[in-house]
């Protein structure tokens, strides 16, 4: 046995077909059975392109449609700078996550909190990572409930052109959620790969429609590029909220380890190689979606752009209707990608801690309860723009911008003032500033909208 295999906690990597190597697998039969049932570890047969479209689906979502609005809060110079810096930083931290998936020879960190426990200790790692990851994933699912419902309503209203009865947004959110009561029963990430692929194609399509329709429409008369707010406090708070909107748009890190866990790995061909190939493709698609939508959307409408650019665009009707339906299809896939790690956490607690028997009945009750919860919160608080900024700053900044850097410093311990050490600390400082500032502006927006909002309207 070589020195690597003698390390404490060593577990031999899976074979190429994804099955565990029984020579060194110290799990009991019951543990194997549970791991084969849990959604994150039940399948390891994914290809590199699964990684590409899972990451596109996770990353490009509701956030891209709010980027012109974020630009109207930030202005041309700061807006472009924040977008470019965010793209670079998050690509770097995503690379770190991919590398750290197998930072211990022969062991895979299949879940974000498992890597956190390795970096910070069993209990501390759990308390640092799990609350933040849950806030992000549950927050995204709530926002996507709102996005899906509002996009369905927009599709209905555009098609009807004022000739149909007005239907409350609440009902459209309920219609959207009904799909998830069915799809949430799919067992793991591999089983939703078809939905994820369709969602990724839709994201590129509706992003192209959004900026293409803006180009076709041209700039509105007397377009104004001054920032949205008129008072100094308003400008400051809106700037903070704009930072949160951008942070929300770069949110795929919360599910990256779980996506990588579906890829087979051997010592000769570690999972990080195909995973990184998929990430590069995904980030090229992200750039093709984000930058044209943000810049052209703001160029066309200036400070009057809505918090969802498809709401601002109204013609040609058939194209805008189609784009909204594409958003619905994409958000269906995105919801499932973010929900799967939550399902994994819920089912792990139910089976391993509370000793429930794994099975269809448990899965049906647990997942349906979760979908119902996100639907209820989405119906009650559908402040789309404010929710984006609040969740973007409060939770996305740590898990996306600087938590991977802190883990990298804890695990690899680069020499003080070396290039790696300096880059990580710059990311940490920028990420902490984002985490502190963004929720302040977003919370103000939510309070202002809540003062005139009628519940369940």
Rounded CA-CA distance 137/393 in Å is: 14
Render pLDDT for 301-334 as a digit per residue (tens, 0 to 9): 888 888 778 777 766 788 888 888 998 999 999 9
Phi/psi of residue 255, each to 5°?
Answer: -120, 5
Nearest to 110 by CA among 42, 53, 200, 32: 42
- Most distant pair of Cα atoms in the chain: their distance: 76
Q: Which helix (H) or strand (E) holds 18?
A: none
Task: Give the C-alpha separation, 386 to 337, whole Å.
Answer: 23
Which residues make Cβ contacts (< 8 Å) with residue 208, sequence separation at least 6?
A: 292
- pLDDT bin (cut points 50, 70, 90) of residue 391 is low
Query: Each residue of 54-108: pLDDT tens digit?
Result: 888 888 876 788 889 889 888 899 999 999 998 999 999 999 999 999 888 878 8
Take residue 199 and report the two structure tokens written for it: 């969602």
In contact, 364 and 88? CB cutoff 8 Å: no
Rounded CA separation 57/47 (Å): 16
Q: Tell whether the torsion through CA atoms of 238, 216, 289 and 176 is positive or negative.
A: positive
Q: What are the chain's domains?
A: 44-450 (1.20.1740.10)
Q: Is the pTM of this model over 0.85?
A: no
* Residue in 317, 324, 378, 316 with CA at minimum distance from that of residue 154: 324
Please give the distance of CA 193 from its chain centroid, rounded to a whole number: 16
């Amino acid at each position: 046995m070589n020195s690597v295999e003698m390390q404490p906690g060593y577990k031999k990597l899976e074979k190429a077909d994804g099955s565990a190597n029984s020579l060194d697998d110290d799990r009991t039969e019951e543990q194997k059975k549970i791991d084969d049932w849990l959604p994150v570890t039940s399948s390891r047969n994914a290809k590199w392109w699964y990684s590409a479209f899972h990451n596109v689906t996770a990353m490009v979502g509701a956030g891209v449609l709010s980027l012109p609005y974020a630009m109207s809060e930030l202005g041309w110079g700061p807006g472009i700078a924040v977008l470019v810096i965010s793209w670079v930083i998050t690509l770097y931290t995503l690379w770190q996550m991919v590398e750290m998936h197998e930072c211990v020879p022969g062991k895979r960190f299949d879940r974000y909190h498992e890597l956190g426990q390795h970096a910070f200790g069993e209990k501390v790692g759990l308390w640092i990572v799990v609350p933040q990851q849950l806030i992000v994933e549950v927050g995204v699912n709530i926002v996507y409930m709102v996005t899906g419902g509002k996009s369905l309503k927009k599709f209905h209203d555009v098609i009807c052109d004022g000739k149909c009865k007005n239907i409350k947004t609440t009902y459209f959110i309920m219609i959207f959620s009904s799909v998830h009561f069915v799809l949430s029963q799919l067992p793991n990430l591999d089983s939703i790969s078809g939905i994820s692929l369709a969602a990724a194609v839709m994201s590129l399509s509706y992003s192209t429609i959004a900026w293409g329709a803006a180009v076709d429409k041209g700039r509105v008369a007397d377009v104004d590029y001054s920032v949205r707010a008129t008072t100094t406090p308003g400008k400051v708070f809106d700037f903070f909220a704009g930072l949160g909107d951008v942070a929300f748009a770069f949110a795929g890190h919360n599910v990256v380890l779980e996506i990588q866990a579906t890829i087979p790995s051997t010592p000769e061909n570690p999972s990080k190689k195909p995973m990184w190939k998929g990430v590069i493709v995904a980030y090229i698609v992200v750039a093709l979606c984000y930058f044209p939508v943000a810049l052209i959307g703001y160029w066309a409408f200036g400070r009057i752009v809505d918090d969802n650019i498809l709401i601002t665009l109204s013609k040609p009707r058939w194209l805008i209707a189609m784009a909204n339906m594409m958003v619905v299809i994409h958000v269906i896939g995105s919801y499932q990608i973010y929900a799967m790690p939550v399902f994994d956490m819920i089912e792990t607690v139910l089976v391993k801690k509370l000793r429930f028997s794994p099975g269809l009945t448990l899965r049906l009750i647990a997942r349906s309860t979760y979908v119902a919860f996100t639907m209820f919160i989405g119906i009650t608080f559908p402040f789309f723009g404010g929710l984006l900024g609040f969740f973007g700053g409060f939770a996305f900044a740590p898990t996306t911008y600087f938590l991977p850097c802190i883990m990298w410093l804890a695990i690899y311990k680069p020499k003080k003032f070396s290039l790696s050490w300096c880059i990580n600390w710059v990311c940490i400082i920028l990420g902490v500033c984002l985490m502190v500032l963004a929720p302040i502006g977003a919370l103000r927006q939510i309070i202002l909208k809540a003062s005139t909002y009628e519940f369940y309207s």
